[in-house]
Structure 1
Amino acid sequence: MAMVDADYKSLFVEVRACGRESDGGVFARCPLSAALADNSINFPASRPLPHEGDPMPFVIVPDDAFPLKPYILKLFSYREQLMSHKIFNYRLSRARNVVENVFAQTSTMIEMAFLYAVTGEMSLEKMEYSHPSGQAALWVGQQTLQ
């Protein structure tokens, strides 16, 4: 679990969770969740957006697995949406793309480092994923790593 800002900077990283655990479950037990709930984190105060007068709160933009909280923005339900809800969902999804891009970049860097440690080469062409029996395995050439 990680939290990043709009400038692709990691603000919080939690790496001790099991892969089979849901994001919502990991978040419920991580220190960030407790700090946000009791407001002990140094979360910025609301301020106006550029060229606007009303102060807007800082929020977290997670995926659908997270609970709705005052500091978490979620998409509107996709059933019978108003046009304003569709626009909001589109814009919120664009914000989520920042998070997904950070995870994609980070996973690529980890894969490159792992591949270099195993083979001494820096090419992802030799690396592919396989999921036999529901277990993820990493194949590097003829060698299987789990």
Structure 2
Amino acid sequence: MEPFAGLVCQDPGVDDVRLPGAAGVILKIQQYADDTMLFGLSVRSLGRIRPTFLGQERAPDVAQNWEARVGLVCSRLGVWSRWRLLLTGKVVVIRSVLLLLLLDLAYVFPVPAHAKLALMRAVFRFLWGGRYVRRELMYTPVAGVGGGVSRGYR
């Protein structure tokens, strides 16, 4: 965190707080143990701090991280698809195994559109195999399809 504090302090675009009666002491950031407090006074300053915190290579990191994670999810789905699971078993796999693979990364990086699309396609293939299911049915609450999810595929 020390290099981060140095970057914030050296950035002239980050507003500072001048402490009254402190002989011109300027305050931008305060750190103690694992706590960090930023004193930027404007939205513009906070907008400059965020990329500094996440690093300049953020966009390639996001793409690489999500590409690797989508590959891992697809690989795991391939393994699980060899089992003859019922639909409810497949849902359990998605909820208990696959979502855990995605959550930690989703907390750090937003899901790019291409990764979201690839994940949706992979999960759709896993759930329904080669059967035809109308996509709009997939997003309808169970109560909206007559109480069952078996309708809508042929």
TM-score (norm 1): 0.29
TM-score (norm 2): 0.28
- Which of the two has greater helix per residue? 2
- Which of the two has greater strand per residue? 1
Higher radius of gyration, 1 or 2 = 2
Q: Which has the higher contact order (CA 8 A, sep 6+)?
A: 2
